[in-house]
Every structure is written in C-alpha cells, then in structure tokens.
Amino acid sequence: MRMYDLIEKKKRGFALSSEELRFFVDGFTRGEIPDYQASALCMAICFNGMTPEECADLTEAMTDSGSRVDLSSLPHTADKHSTGGVGDLTSLITAPLAASLGLSVAKMSGRGLGHTGGTVDKLESIPGFRTALAKEEFLDQVRRIGVAVVGQTANLAPADKKLYAIRDVTATVDSIPLIASSIMSKKLAAGAESIVLDVKYGSGAFMKTADDARELARTMTAIGAAHGRHMAAFVTSMEFPLAPQIGNTLEVEEAVRILRGEKPRGWGIRTVAVRLAAEMLALSTGIASDDALRQAEESLASGRAYAKFLEWIAAQGGDISYIEEDRFERAPCSREVRLTRDGYFTAADTERIGLASCLCGAGRMKKEDQPDLTAGLVMQIAPSERVRAGQTAAVLYAASEEKLDAAEEMLRSSLVITDEPKETPPLIADVVR
C-alpha cells in the first residue's frame, strides 16, 4: 500500500477503506508518512468529504493511535463536550450536577486557546486544585464521589494532535469530517458509555451557522453510535456569550452562583448546563428526557449539586474555604466601559468579546502563553436589554492600564446597540439524537 495511491483515490472522490485509513493514521503517527503527503490527503478530504463509514473508520484509527481509558468498572459513565465559545463554563456546573444524579463523570478536559476558554485553566484558578491525577487515583475518585476532571494525557489519541498541527497550517481545519474525527477520537478514547455534545454556532463559535453546526452534530453522533456509544448533541447559539463573566476565576465564581441557586438574567449558561446534565442522565439510564430534566432541576434547587461540587473540588486538593467564603481574586486594575448611546443590546461580535478578555490577560493566543487567571471582564448588560447612554456595559479586569486600553477598544467594537429591539436567535436551535 502506498500513500500516493490513497491521495489519488480521495482526490478523485472515492471512499477510502478501513485498512487504507488505518495505514495512513498509523504511518503518519510513527513518522513514516511525511507531512506533505498528510497535508495533501487532508486537502483532498476538504474538497471531497468522507462517507459516514470513512468518518467512523478514521476516528477508530485515531483513537487506537494511543491509550484508551477503561471505565468498565464504573456504573453509568457519561461525558460531555463543547466545541468551545465565550463564557462557556458548562462543565463546572454539568459535571457535579450529573454526578449528583448518580452518574460517573470521568472527564478529561483541555486548556483554552484564542478567544475560547478551557476548563483546566478555570479549575486551576482554585487554590490547590490538581488537574493531574494518576490513573488509579482518577478512577478511585470517580468511584467514590462520582466525578473527576483532569487534563488530557499526551497519549490520548496522539494521531489527532499531530494531524491537527498539519491542518492548522494548511487551511484544512474547517473540514467537518476532520473536525468530527478529531473530537470523537478523544471522546472515544476517554471511555464513557454516554456522550452529550454541545455544538456551538454563531459569531463566537467555530461553526458560524446553525446548519453547519447541525451537520457537525449529526456527523459526530453517527460516529459515536457506530462505536456503540449512546449519543446526543445540542446545537446551541454563541451569538452572545453564554455567561456574563468571562475569564478563569470569574467563570468559577459564576458557576458557584448558579450551583447555589442564582439565575443569571438574560444569559443562557444555566439553561444549557442543566439540559446537558439531564441528557447525560437520560442517555445513561433510559429515562425520558422530561423526567431527567425534572431530576436535574430538583438536584440544583435542593443544593445537592452544589454539595457535590464542593466534594469534587476538595477531593482534587482545592481549597473549598476559598469558594465558601467568596474569596475570588480579580486583577488589580479595573475599568468600567460605558455606553455612548441609548437603544437595545441586540447583537454582539462574541469572538471579539472573547478576544477583549484575552487582551485583559485571561487567555492565551499561543499555546506557550500563561494566562492571568484573575483577569477578564464582566458584562453588565444582557442580550435584548434596553440600555441608556452612560450605562456601564462591562467592567474589565487586568494587570495594567495598557491592557485595559486594548481590551476596551476591542470590547467597544463588539457591541451592537440598535434603535429598535430585535428577536434574538433561539438558545438551543436543535437536539440531535
């Protein structure tokens, strides 16, 4: 078998066999297939797509390129994944909420890059919290309390990491088959029986339209089902940030408020987080979605989810007095950004809001960057709200005035204030099962 022949075959629009895709993944991972041939195949896939069978076979080969996590000793294992966005702190709520419902949530999460935040960075803003656990410690914690969240290991689908580096510099990142196999190879390797996906669309998401997000959702759920997993996917809007607080410590603070029973007016974070946990329960146990949602709401209202959150944080070394006493730190310099006109907050360039948080210091534009965990911004106006000139739109937090200057300019350019109200897009556009 020659790599040249695989490239030629896909260039002409033919489907590659399972054996051919495994030959490519194994050879590329071992360094036997050069980058330029891998790039050529990725470009051919971009132009000609892949069949559902090809997507499933490519994902399986990528999953098998590294180690798999064996969760067979745990009951009702469930996982969730978001394609990323701004103010997307759902894992901080969904993971303990699902665990409080009797599920086993053994989750591996990533760090933030660009305008999207990462769960690992957020958790590391809690003093003492450890995001690296030995395998047996990880499994034992899930067995005891139902939840553990750690950083992804280097040997989890290593083919994906190597292939993504190629895609990133060859304009082949936006291929739905390649996106789907990238995400699902890591999810399959992580071992959960049930997987709920949160596929974002809009100005703050990678997929810009609901139709593209639906296609990605269908592709990923089909891959999971082909490998025997219970699957569902929500198609959710990122036309506005999901939560008003954006930045690592700020997002932990927001999650704590919701777990204590607060409802953030005008923002979708609580709704999405609870729906994800309910769907994890429905997939894992077979109960109706409405019953699962009722149980999730009851757990949140009773305080069981918050108690599970504190138990989880303590189990991984986090200082829960920091949380219970609301000792959340904020960067030393702050600035209120005030509106210059009356109107309605009807739209936002959510990516630019995320970048404003990055300019405050909260994110990383390169993988080597070290984010300021206390930096970020807090929105003071909500989607569709009637606003007035002079009203505070947001408060920025950074280590220096220079960072605040850059962040303010970016934030101002992201807000759309109109004379008349407009209908906002639905928060959850679709559910794919």
pLDDT of residue 114: 64
Annotation marks residue 26 as catalytic: no
The active-site residue out of 57, 88, 160, 198 is 160
Residue 426 lies in a domain: no
pLDDT of residue 7: 98
Each residue's pLDDT tens digit, 119-175: 999 999 999 999 999 999 999 999 999 999 999 887 889 999 999 889 988 999 889
What DSSP designation does 236 have?
A: E
The active-site residue out of 10, 81, 229, 403 is 81
Q: Quick one: 351 and 405 in the same domain?
A: yes
Mean pLDDT of 212-227: 97
Instruction: Enter the tokens of residue 21.
Output: 């895709």
Q: How far is CA 238 from CA 21, 234, 243, 268, in A?
A: 34, 12, 10, 10
Which of 163-167, 190-194, 195-199, 287-291 comes out lowest in average pLDDT? 163-167
Q: Assess whether pLDDT exceeds 80 at residue 373.
A: yes
Each residue's pLDDT tens digit, 296-329: 999 999 999 999 999 999 999 999 999 999 999 9
The active-site residue out of 109, 182, 237, 414 is 182
Integer Cα distance of 294 and 284 in angstroms: 16
Q: Confirm if 352 and 394 have CB atoms less than 8 A apart.
A: no
Q: Quick one: 172 and 131 in the same domain?
A: yes
Radius of gyration of the chain from its Cα atoms, rounded to whole angstroms: 22
Q: Quick one: 137 and 269 in the same domain?
A: yes
Phi–psi pair at 312, nearest 5 degrees:
-65, -50
Residue 221 lies in a domain: yes
Q: Confirm if 91 and 277 have CB atoms less than 8 A apart.
A: no
Integer Cα distance of 132 and 108 in angstroms: 10
Mean pLDDT of the chain: 95
pLDDT of residue 264: 86
Neighbour-count burial for 11-26, b at 16+ CB within 10 Å, e otherwise = eeeeebeeebbbbbbe
DSSP string, 294-355: HHHHHHHHHTHHHHHHHHHHHHTT--HHHHHTT-----SEEEEEE-SS-EEEEEE-HHHHHH
Annotation marks residue 65 as catalytic: no
Q: Containing domain of residue 36, as a range?
A: 3-49
The active-site residue out of 107, 115, 122, 186 is 186
Q: Quick one: 318 and 342 in the same domain?
A: no
pLDDT of residue 177: 97
Angle at 44 between CA 43 and CA 45, to 5 degrees: 90
User: How many C-beta atoms lie closer than 10 Å to residue 416's C-beta?
Assistant: 14
The active-site residue out of 167, 200, 335, 352 is 167
Q: Tell me, what CATH number does 389's domain have?
A: 3.90.1170.30
Integer Cα distance of 411 and 46 in angstroms: 34
Q: Quick one: 44 and 130 in the same domain?
A: no
Annotation marks residue 186 as catalytic: yes
> How many distinct structural domains can be found in the chain?
3
